[in-house]
Chains A and B, each alone.
Chain A
Amino acid sequence: MIEAKNVSKSFGDNLVLDEVSVKFEPGKCNLIIGQSGSGKTVLMKCLVGLFEIDSGKVLYGDRVFSKMSFDEMKMIRQEIGMLFQGGALFDSMTVEENVMFPLSMFTNQTPAEKLERANFCLSRVRLENANKLFPAEISGGMKKRVAIARAIAMNPKYLFCDEPNSGLDPLTANVIDILISEITREYNITTVVNTHDMNSVIEIGDRISYIHKGKLWWQGNNESILKSDNPELNEFVFATELTRKLK
């Protein structure tokens, strides 16, 4: 389990996170939702240690991650996989090399073993025959799938996905959602997904945390979110004509 306890983060005078406390459970897709600029990405970056928090704690199980040095964090980071918004694939490496990169850094596997693992991860995200292509040669959806394959290469305990559907068509976005959900259950991973895509919320939202103005505003799941009487949440969830009609 990952837990944020009273986490606050500001940039200059701008308080982005205001004493946010939230738990993320293993084997479930834990969604962080909210409007653009609400603090979702900052919260995620605080959880993985890319931003240093001003106050509060981030715990991985009973380990206080936010108080660790870089070397101590390194151990936990080897248990983390992360899917970045733009994929963040290494331009100079092929698809296969991108997936093998963490294995090359942290395991003593032979090249054949690394290749076998990379092929397994790529087939798991249904991306065969793209091994030798460079990121510039593949589509946005394929990039996301390669990024997922890289993220799961080390058998992570924790998977973070920052807006996995941004820039994708609805069909591809749905494929990515299902993939994340399947991987989460299959390996009992604690998955944290940042999104403002309502399709994802309905599709995979086992546990949903709504962030509004830097505060945790509401928590529930993909069923209770549609029945909530929280006005700010309803404004976000039923922002479009389509969702209003669905309601």
Chain B
Amino acid sequence: MVEIDNLGLDSVGIVAFISTFMGAVLCIQMAFNIDTPLVPLYTIGFVTRQSVVLEFSPTIISLILAGKVGSRVASELGTMRVTEQIDAIEIIGINPATYLIFPKVVAAVLINPILILMSMIMAIFGGWLAGVTTGLVASSTYIYGIKAFFESYDIVYAMIKTVVFAFLIVSISGYHGFYTKGGALEVGTSSTKGVVHSSIAIIVFNLILTQLLLS
């Protein structure tokens, strides 16, 4: 529960904030790009939903979480390593990797899908708010677009990506933190490596998973 709180619930605010504003921007950009009456206005809602569900929430929010959660995990474990706290755990007779990293992986794999679902809802809401308040699209038209051509598999695809990305973020950052050698400078280096490597892994696995799940 502590890890779920540290890795997930602490991120609710930033995820909600970014999602709402990105959803609003997506809606406005879409509205401005529809310059022909041949394209129905409900397309704004439809495209906002598809962009959010397929890519923005699972991938971009995971990249943001890689920065926030990844640096936290790597610096926490790195500091524990350089202050001999990990050695102390090992001396007591506990496998430190299992004791320290495994609960974080489980917590992230459980909480990230909830965060991403919340992000989807907030982004779609942000799009509705921007579209309606600026008069670019009527509320009923936007909502019609949100419901149009809905495939539940899109949500499954997004959740699979989210779980894989959550695993990558915590395990890669955890690895860099756990094997830190040196002092404060090296803790910073481990933290940076954790974020950079997990971000790269997310981008690469995004392509692989998309090819596997959508082609």
- A interface vs B, CB < 8 Å? 48, 50, 70, 73-75, 77-78, 80, 82, 84-86, 88-91, 101-102, 105-106
Contacts and interface: CB of A to CB of B under 8 A. Distances in A.
Contacts of B92: 77-78, 101-102, 105-106
Interface residues of B, number: 13
Nearest to B6: A92
Contacts of B80: 91
A240 B52 CA distance: 71
Nearest to B92: A102
Given A84-B84, A86-B84, A88-B84, A50 B91 contact: yes
B154 interface: no
B93 A84 contact: no
Most chain B CB neighbours (cut-off 10 Å) among A73, A88, A91, A102? A88
Contact of B93 (A50, A77, A88, A90): A77
Contacts, number: 42
Contacts of A101: 92
B9 interface: no
Contact of B87 (A70, A73, A75, A84): A84
Interface of B: 79-80, 83-85, 87-88, 90-95
A50 B83 contact: no
Nearest to B2: A92
Of all A-B residue pairs in the complex, the 6 with the closest CB atoms, nearest first, are A77-B93, A88-B84, A88-B88, A74-B93, A84-B84, A82-B91
Contacts of B85: 88-91
Given A50-B87, A88-B83, 5 more contacts: A77-B93, A88-B85, A89-B85, A91-B83, A105-B92
B162 to A, nearest CB: 27
A70 B90 CA distance: 10
Nearest to B87: A50
B87 to A, nearest CB: 6
A101 B92 CA distance: 9
B95 A70 contact: yes
Contacts of B83: 86, 88, 91
A105 B95 CA distance: 11
Given A70-B95, A86-B83, A88-B83, A50 B90 contact: yes
30 contacts: A48-B91, A50-B87, A50-B90, A50-B91, A74-B93, A77-B92, A77-B93, A78-B92, A78-B93, A80-B91, A82-B88, A82-B91, A84-B87, A85-B84, A86-B84, A88-B83, A88-B84, A88-B85, A89-B85, A90-B85, A90-B88, A91-B79, A91-B83, A91-B85, A101-B92, A102-B92, A105-B92, A105-B93, A105-B94, A106-B92
B173 to A, nearest CB: 18
A107 to B, nearest CB: 12
Contacts of B87: 50, 84, 88
Contacts of B90: 50, 77
Contacts of A89: 85
A82 B94 CA distance: 14
A73 B90 CA distance: 10
A91 B84 CA distance: 11
A90 B87 CA distance: 11
Nearest to A79: B93
A39 to B, nearest CB: 18
A50 B86 CA distance: 10
A155 to B, nearest CB: 14
Contacts of A78: 92-93
B20 to A, nearest CB: 32
B12 to A, nearest CB: 21
Nearest to B82: A86
Contacts of B84: 84-86, 88
Contacts of A90: 85, 88
Nearest to A76: B93
Contacts of B91: 48, 50, 77, 80, 82
Contacts of B95: 70
Contacts of B79: 91
B129 to A, nearest CB: 39
B88 A84 contact: yes
Contacts of B93: 73-75, 77-78, 105-106
Nearest to B93: A77
